[in-house]
Chains A and B, each alone.
Chain A
Amino acid sequence: MAPSAGPSPVASSPSSADGPAVGRVVLRALGVTKHYGATLALQGVDFQARAGQVTALFGENGAGKSTLMKIMSGVEHPTSGVLELDGEPVSFHSTAEAEAHGVAIIHQELSLCYNLNVRDNIFLGREVRGRGGRIDFAAEERVVSDVLARLEEDIDPRRDVASLRLGQQQVVEIARALAGEARVLIMDEPTSALSSAEVAVLFRVTQELKAHGVAVIYISHHLEEAIELADLAVVLRDGNLVASHPKEGLKLSWVVAAMLGRAGTTEQRAEPVSSDDAVLLEVRDVNVPEPHGAGRLAVDGVSLDVRAGEVVCLFGLMGAGRTELLECLAGRVPMASGSIVVDGRDVTKASVRERIASGLGLVPEDRQRDGLVQLLSVGANLSLAGLATVYTAPFVDRSAEQARVARAIDDVKVKTAGPNASITSLSGGNQQKVVIGKMLLVDPKVLLLDEPTRGVDVGAKAEIFRLLLGQAERGLAVLFATSEIGEALAHATRVVVLRKGKVVRQFDAATADRDTVIAAAGGASHDVLEQALA
């Protein structure tokens, strides 16, 4: 797409006329306290967003980041404390009102209307009116094309959001915030579904926004990414603002220590396997057609083996075919050709159900959509896949079920009020542990996990990998997909790189070089990201 001529509607900041006053406080939270019932989510927090700067907000899940951002963007009201915009006290009663004041937010959870197209989603609630009050679709589409060109994403504005991939949906979410005239832009986990290349583009756009004097607040579980982008790092812990650090000398170890209140450990790896260990998963020449692309392959002749006790990482960028491969292995997506053998048993033609019975389970990428039944309790979610193990015809053996569920809660360390608690009462990390626990409850031989730590805080991430490594030690074969290079190298025994549906290279994770792996995946290496920022 050709770059647009003339002034772009993106971030046409009012301050550009009199020059961006970098460092001036645009939006300030003063002594903000938020109660949920008897619980304190935020306690007297003072926080500023400064023009032309990126403020990175760090904290574990439940530290109060999202609550603070919800207050600053008008989603929630503080119990006490005030917001100031340009030094004047303001009170946002809705996100629309906040947007009208130039405060936009990119939400952590995608909040798009799947039945509408890209253009209508981006302008939802603030449609451009033409003659006679009709929507000026042409004007809207021009803006959308400009913004998407900025984001280097080739998406037709008239395409239905439902047909977009998760990463593209996130780009649309970002585009929605950019299409308004934001002075303060809050990005809450904007990159959780983006590839490295897309992240690099987002970084560049963020730099442009900064240059236009926009105040950016950045929240990400990809700590390194946020550190690279930050002009100022601010850390929340248990609802309190505990530390802040300028860009100079900002280190990952400082951030992690401040978040956890102690020094964190990162690398943990399974023992290397030998050729004596049984091959539990044998994938041969698997082809999966692209769901929307005519005749193209999403997975192109993939073959790989995973042995008992091995933790293999499928690394690849968005669209590399990771999700398609895993869903095909799980039996959810039909394959065009190839074969899949689990512990000597051919499951190529088996249903999802039969594959689970053969010991092959999938922990899906999108736990809200594919992993959990929100109306069921924690216990019922945990036992859903493994009902056969607690079944004494014709009834479900409830005492056996309770015992297994209690053990699973214990094994995967779910923090919950009990098996009868509502699944929606759990934090993201704990929900993810439930989805993993559900599959472990069927005593699988091979566990597939698609982005197992997406939207999960640092503490829970480490716990999830500790759990997987523990299971691998007991002979489970683990195959997980990720787009986060740090995760790939820190926890796998072997990294299989996927690119455009093909296995391009395999690395020994303990010795692999980070940039070589990224380059193999066809993504932007560290250097590229830095160049994007330079």
Chain B
Amino acid sequence: MTTAVAESPALRRRTRINVSALLVEGRAFLALVITVLIFSALTPKFLTGDNLIIMSRHVAFNATIAIGLLMVILNGGIDLSVGSTVGLSGVVAGYLLQGANIPFTDATAYPAVWVVVILSLVVGALIGVINGLVITYLKVAPFIATLGMLYVARGLALVITNGTTFNDLRGEPELGNTGFVRVLASRPLGIPMPIWVMVAVAVVFSVLLTRMPFGRWLYASGGNARAAELSGVPIGRVQILVYVFSGVCAAAVGLLLAADLPAATPRGGEFYELNAIAAVVMGGAALSGGRGTVRGTLIGAFLIGFLVDGLVLIGVSTFWQQVVKGAVIILAVAVDQIQEAVQRRTAGTKAARAAADRTPTISS
């Protein structure tokens, strides 16, 4: 370590950077691969096409919420209301499909399915707007604001349904509102709709993050809001928008879940926010903001989903599943922290080296 320094410092430097980069990028992916390998060894049923599709469909719900939530977490916030938004949007769809009473009249409206879908997504967006306004302008901490919204949205879902479930979402041909279940629970090209939605959401948001100014604004305002503001980033607008994205993603999942069952229950999506947070964090995002990717979040969601489904397949009891899941979450983040310390050390070393060298170091 001390003697062979003179030989190829440049080479050594490059390898070290690559190794640390690989650790950061590939850690969750590595864990996913190991999970898949272990379960494939334990049961032949795990690595079959059918099972992969079933598991991915489960993952898709959480992943879609998690990607929306990633936007909030990149901003340095948190959105605890996504689970309730799932429930509320499903219930709103169910209510509209059953026939909505037009206020002050006896008339009942049966909106077309596309209208139902849009209105339900608008509900999600509205929840996001309220979260965003309360956080940005009333300066309520995101944790508190969205904790409150968790109860408000869940409560509204219960109010609308009066605590019961809308069981019939199929609509009537003569009312022109059929197709909700048929389309949202369909399997284009043999792949369930939730997976398509997850893919679409992932593509849209990763393009948003990597190719559009908004992405840069988001990373900057999550990393250092003061510097971002002085650079002309509209940090208020960014902060409101991330909650809207999160709300819309959750509302989309609410629709998919309702079509999947098919029933709109006011209890739909309970505790989904916790799974989503776990996926985002396991995917390498920092809760303090400014760090995280869509790819990482997807890997995090798949890791949790495959882990749980794998445990089911090999017959581990639901009680132990919870214990294992929790332990893996803690382990993943602990590893993340250790890595960050390693990174900081290398960054510090690099800084000192750059300062000491006074000559530009070339590395890719």
Contacts and interface: CB of A to CB of B under 8 A. Distances in A.
A370 interface: yes
B55 to A, nearest CB: 33
Interface stretch (A243-251, A379-387, A520-528): A379-387
A395 B351 contact: no
Contacts of B355: 41, 61-62, 427
Contact of B9 (A38, A351, A357, A396): A38
B363 A373 contact: no
B360 interface: yes
B291 interface: yes
B291 A375 contact: yes
A375 B290 contact: yes
B352 A67 contact: yes
Interface in B307-364: 347-364
Contacts of B224: 369-370, 372-375
A418 B355 CA distance: 15
A62 B356 contact: yes
Contact of B350 (A353, A391, A422): A422
A39 B353 contact: yes
B223 interface: yes
A410 B233 CA distance: 25
B231 interface: yes
A211 to B, nearest CB: 36
B213 interface: yes
Nearest to B207: A395
Q: Is the interface of B mostly helix, strand, loop or mixed?
A: helix
Given A36-B352, A37-B353, A396-B212, A376 B219 contact: yes
A291 to B, nearest CB: 15
A387 B219 contact: no
Nearest to A373: B223
Contacts of A380: 216, 219-220
A40 interface: yes
Contacts of A61: 355
B226 interface: yes
Interface band, chain B? 35 or more
Given A375-B219, A391-B213, A425 B5 contact: no
Contacts of B222: 375
B118 interface: no
A385 B232 contact: yes
B356 A415 contact: no
A385 B354 CA distance: 26
Contact of B219 (A373, A417, A420): A373
B216 A37 contact: no
Contact of B354 (A40, A351, A372, A425): A425
B139 interface: no
Given A332-B229, A422-B350, A424-B347, A384 B220 contact: yes
A376 B226 CA distance: 14
Interface in B200-243: 207, 211-213, 216-217, 219-220, 222-224, 226-234
A36 B356 contact: yes
A396 B216 contact: yes
A38 B12 contact: yes
Contacts of B211: 395-396, 398
Contacts of A374: 223-224
B232 A427 contact: no
A12 to B, nearest CB: 36
A319 B224 CA distance: 26
B13 interface: yes
Contacts of B213: 387-388, 391, 396
B354 to A, nearest CB: 5
A364 interface: yes
Interface in B81-139: none
B12 A373 contact: no
Interface in A342-356: 351-353, 355-356
A238 interface: yes
Interface string A393-436: 01110100000000000000001111010101111000000000
B73 to A, nearest CB: 13
Contacts of A388: 213
Contacts of A332: 229-230
A62 B358 contact: yes
A385 B212 contact: no
B290 A36 contact: no
A362 interface: yes
A475 interface: no
Contacts of A62: 354-358
B353 A36 contact: yes
Contacts of B350: 422, 425
B290 A418 contact: no
B352 A330 contact: no
A64 interface: yes
Q: With a 10 A CB-CB cut-off, give which of B13, B231, B347, B348 has the most chain A CB atoms.
A: B231
Contacts of A494: none
A425 B234 CA distance: 28
Contacts of A39: 349, 352-353, 356-357
A34 to B, nearest CB: 9
A119 interface: no
B187 to A, nearest CB: 32
Interface string B52-93: 000000000000000000000000000000000000000000
Contacts of B356: 36, 39-41, 62, 64, 238-239
A362 B5 CA distance: 44
A424 B352 contact: no
B347 A425 contact: yes
B364 to A, nearest CB: 7
Contact of B347 (A384, A387, A422): A422
Contacts of B361: 417
Contacts of B207: 395
Q: With a 10 A CB-CB cut-off, give which of B213, B234, B349 has the most chain A CB atoms.
A: B213
Interface string A291-320: 000000000000000000000000000000
A372 B358 CA distance: 22
A438 interface: yes
A384 B357 contact: no
Contacts of B354: 62, 415, 417, 425-427
Interface in A214-267: 238-239
B216 A357 contact: no
Contacts of A37: 13, 16, 349, 353
Given A369-B227, A395-B207, 7 more contacts: A38-B13, A330-B230, A373-B223, A376-B219, A418-B363, A418-B364, A426-B354
Interface of B: 5, 9, 12-13, 16, 207, 211-213, 216-217, 219-220, 222-224, 226-234, 290-291, 347-364
6 contacts: A38-B5, A362-B230, A375-B222, A380-B220, A417-B354, A418-B362
Interface of A: 36-41, 61-62, 64, 67, 238-239, 330, 332, 351-353, 355-357, 362, 364, 369-376, 380, 383-385, 387-388, 391, 394-396, 398, 415-418, 420, 422, 424-427, 438, 442
